[in-house]
Amino acid sequence: MKQFKLPDLGEGLQEAEIVEWFVREGDQVEVDQLMVSVETAKAIVEVPSPMAGLITRCFGRPGDMLHVGEPLVGFEGESEDHGTVVGNLGSASGNGGLAAEDFHIGASPSTRDFQPVRAAPAVRVLANQLGVELARLKGTGPENLITERDVREAAAGDGTDNGTPLRSVRRTMAKNMARAHAEVAAVMIVEDADLHRWAGGARDPMVRLARAIARACVAEPALNVGFDGKRLSVQPHSHVDLGVAVDTPDGLFVPVLRNVAERDPDDLREGLARLRRDVANRSIPPGELMGATITLSNFGTLFGRYASPVVVPPQVAIIGAGVIRDGVVAWQGQPTVHPILPISLTFDHRAATGGEASRFLKVLVEDLEAPD
Amino acid sequence: MPLSTCIPYTQFINDQGELSGPLPDWANDVDLLRALYADMVLVRAFDKKCVALQRTGQIGTYASTLGQEAVGAAVGRAMTREDVLVPYYRDTATQLQRGVAMHEILLYWGGDERGSAWKNPDVAEDFPICVPIATQATHACGVASAFRIRQQPRVAVTTCGDGATSKGDFLESLNLAGVWQLPVVFVINNNQWAISVPRSLQTAAPTLAHKALAAGLPGEQVDGNDVLAVYDRVQQAIERARRGKGATLIECVTYRLGDHTTADDASRYRSADELNAAWKHEPVGRYQRFLHAGGWWDEEREQRLQRDVHQRIEDEVEVFRATPPASATAAFDHLYARLPAQYALQREQLQERVEALGGSSHE
């Protein structure tokens, strides 16, 4: 099968959505006969056939998003390379599942954030030859220009000088955190929840935290939204999907507990247990790691009081919960000892105001402090 | 001698393909009448092919000529070999008339600089396509100044869109052409849309041709969908300039029936009603009706022309496809008369690297 791959239909566009097919598998087409209309970020365009022939495969259905370079149409005949357009499928997989290392925590990073690297043409050819990815290098030349030496050193291996490259979950974590840190206008507020009304001295607060966050989201929806910093637009969410940060030796996972506002405590407890089990077994499906509307980072099982957890766009808020401790508090005019749960809230000040965050935190803490 | 503030408008053939006024004497040349039609048919078919090649990833962004074939075909034909064209990015028709090969135009839009290094000696001194808006008008004044200084009877012809007439470069060029009496002709392809900005929001001037008056030049409008009108007026202006009488501004009133470029989607800002109405004025159909009515064209000629045009396009697309990529070191060439030491070193390093790869010059 000869494959026609989706070309760049605009100027530097990365993807297009299939709108409508004008041909079907088994159809005979002429050169320049219209085959399919696709919508890019800029336009709806009709894509003609680059050749005359029999169509054996239409890749994707209306609504499917294809990246530039992915197969669009298969034609009958031996696979042969017609330059960049009609060629072998190679390693680009059109419809394979997500590889375990390729999922993203939070929003998928935009390809438009790509920064060009600075390197002379000969250095680029060398890097290509040695299989060195220039984007990973930090240039040592003037204004961070990548030099031939940089490339050779990188190619010389994961040697002692250059450290060990991050892989997999840690690599994803590093990229997402750096991007979030660069983009978000983070503001933190903290407060303690006094848990002395809780029955039986229970110290697993996850279900209560989930409920308190859900109620705070209902009372102050401004922190349960998606924010697009490029278009400066806000997308309110009708439900609360809570990302739960889970620490593992491999790095950070944030599986999503769906629709927490509508679920009863037993259901939540079971959902949490399943998330933890799945993460421990590394059997969590990629879909379960996407689409959180707000995130909880509970480091109370570890160590520490307050934190400034990082908000990952398009989310605008993350709640940190520290270790429950016995603290001396003023109670009815007297010093007394109560169990105290320290709460930290980081929010993106581009999307929410301090007042909104403060009201959110108040509802959250008051719900935590309630007897049940 | 005061200039008239009234802007003349020329049309010989109306939307129905009927004569709306007496034809000039040169129109007795039936071969020329037929050639102008063949020119427009070729441009329309080639233009469609260019869009298809962009849509299949074989060339980059392309600026379509659809609906404006008469302007470029007539301007290109009205020029003589020794004149110099200083074009902008919607000049496929003009360049073809001048003698640029179709495969060279494809190379240009395919991102290959050799697409501006035309092999035809007739166009050796024409300028490459200018993408920055209106800067070509200043280049044309430079060319015309050179003709004056060398005392050569030659004319620079430069083209631009309606949007370009709002730019300082354009207005400065008109001023200079006026005060120095330069042998230059400014042709505006007023296709009513500067990407998404309509003519009504572009300028409060009653016509774009009025902009000539402040510079002391004659300005006039022609029906840009009437190939004979454009040819007549541009040719007169060129001969006037050649006789040392100075510059002229000609506004060709036409319509952009396609998107601004292949990276644009005009349906997002332009109504279907307006577009459908504009199709009634398009240049090719009306001129074909005119030729038919006069007995200068028939079905047999039409079929022969269509076959010939499609074969020529096929052949040229093949030449384009078969052109090997430029060498990697070409990125350094043609930028400087003498390459600065730093770049010379980089070029040398690249050459070595490419040779080390076994002569594969294209990565």
Which residue segment(s) compose the domain that B337 sits in? 328-363
Q: Taking 60 as the threshold, does the pLDDT of residue A70 lie above it?
A: yes
Residues A199-227 have a mean pLDDT of: 88
Q: Are A322 and A306 in contact (CB under 8 A)?
A: yes
CB contact set of A71 (below 8 Å; sequence gap of 6+): A3, A4, A5, A6, A57, A59, A89, A92, A94
Kind and range of the H or E run holding A293: none
Residue owning tokens 């294209």: B362
Q: How confident is the model at residue A158 (pLDDT cuts 50, 70, 90)?
A: low
Of the partner residues A49, A120, A129, the one whose CB lies closest to the CB of residue B357: A129
Residues of A within 8 A of B57 (CB-CB) are: 5-8, 50, 84-85
- Could you read off the pLDDT of B167-203 as tens digits, one per residue? 999 999 999 999 999 999 999 999 999 999 999 999 9
Catalytic residue at B231?
no
Which CATH number covers residue B291? 3.40.50.970
- Could you read off the pLDDT of B98-114 as tens digits, one per residue? 999 999 999 999 999 89
Listed by start position, the domains of chain A span: 2-108, 110-166, 184-369
A48–B52 CB contact, under 8 Å: yes
Phi first, then psi: give them for residue B167, nearest 5 degrees. Answer: -85, 150
ipTM of the complex: 0.72
B56–A125 CB contact, under 8 Å: no
Any CB–CB contact under 8 A between B311 and chain A? no
Q: What average pLDDT does chain A have?
A: 82
Closest CA to B86 of B124, B139, B155, B43: B139
A122–B349 CB contact, under 8 Å: yes
Closest CA to B108 of B263, B327, B326: B326
The reply to whether B2 falls in a domain is: no
Q: Are B234 and B250 in contact (CB under 8 A)?
A: yes
Residue owning tokens 């925590």: A105
Look at residue B87 in the predicted model and tell me its pLDDT: 98
How far does CA B158 lie from the centroid of its chain? 8
Catalytic residue at B362?
no
Closest CA to A253 of A277, A285, A289, A286: A289
Residue A330, burial from CB neighbour count under 10 angstroms (0-12, 13-18, 19+) = exposed
Q: Taking 50 as the threshold, does the pLDDT of residue A100 lie above it?
A: no
Q: Are residues B152 and B203 in the same domain?
A: yes
Q: Are B10 and B281 in contact (CB under 8 A)?
A: no
Phi first, then psi: give them for residue B219, nearest 5 degrees. Answer: -125, 140
Q: Are residues B341 and B250 in the same domain?
A: no
Any CB–CB contact under 8 A between B328 and chain A? yes
Look at residue A8 in the predicted model and tell me its pLDDT: 83
Any CB–CB contact under 8 A between B152 and chain A? no
Look at residue A171 in the predicted model and tell me its pLDDT: 74
Closest CA to B65 of B99, B34, B42, B85: B42
Look at residue A304 in the predicted model and tell me its pLDDT: 94
Q: Are residues B237 and B342 in the same domain?
A: no
The DSSP bridge pattern shows strands A86-87 and A2-5 to be antiparallel
Distance separating alpha carbons of residues B190 and B255, to the nearest angstrom: 7
The partner residues of B220 in beta bridges, in order of sequence, read B250
CB contact set of B172 (below 8 Å; sequence gap of 6+): B137, B138
User: How close B330 gets to chain A, by Cα (Å)?
Assistant: 11
Q: Taking 50 as the threshold, does the pLDDT of residue A106 lie above it?
A: no
pTM as predicted: 0.62
- Could you read off the pLDDT of B235-272 as tens digits, one per residue? 999 999 999 999 999 999 999 999 999 989 999 899 99
Residues of A within 8 A of B349 (CB-CB) are: 120, 122, 148
The reply to whether B3 falls in a domain is: no
Q: Taking 70 as the threshold, does the pLDDT of residue A324 lie above it?
A: yes
A45–B268 CB contact, under 8 Å: no
Catalytic residue among B98, B103, B233, B256: B256
Q: Which CATH number is A184-369 given?
A: 3.30.559.10
Catalytic residue at B260?
yes
Q: Are residues B341 and B259 in the same domain?
A: no
A125–B354 CB contact, under 8 Å: yes
- Could you read off the pLDDT of B126-155 as tens digits, one per residue? 999 999 999 999 999 999 999 999 999 999
Residue A333, burial from CB neighbour count under 10 angstroms (0-12, 13-18, 19+) = exposed
Distance separating alpha carbons of residues A310 and A326, to the nearest angstrom: 27
Ranges A49-53, A89-93, B263-267: which has the least confidence: A89-93
A42–B357 CB contact, under 8 Å: no
Reported CATH class of domain A2-108: mainly beta
Tokens of B283: 């240049």
Q: How confident is the model at residue A199 (pLDDT cuts 50, 70, 90)?
A: confident
Look at residue A188 in the predicted model and tell me its pLDDT: 96
Ranges A282-286, B123-127, B345-349: which has the least confidence: A282-286
Q: How confident is the model at residue A83 (pLDDT cuts 50, 70, 90)?
A: very low
Look at residue A301 in the predicted model and tell me its pLDDT: 84
A125–B350 CB contact, under 8 Å: yes
Q: How confident is the model at residue A203 (pLDDT cuts 50, 70, 90)?
A: low
Tell me the percentage of chain A whose pLDDT exceeds 70.
85
Q: What HEC string does B164-184 produce? A: HHHCHHHHHHHHHHHHCCCCE
Top pLDDT among A30 and A83 is at: A30
Of the partner residues A10, A42, A121, the one whose CB lies closest to the CB of residue B331: A121
- Give the nearest chain A residue to B262 (CA atoms): A10
Q: Are residues B183 and B305 in the same domain?
A: yes
- Could you read off the pLDDT of A266-316 as tens digits, one per residue? 898 898 888 888 887 777 776 777 789 999 999 988 899 999 999 999 999
Q: What average pLDDT does chain B have?
A: 94
Reported CATH class of domain A110-166: few secondary structures
Catalytic residue among B103, B242, B260, B281: B260
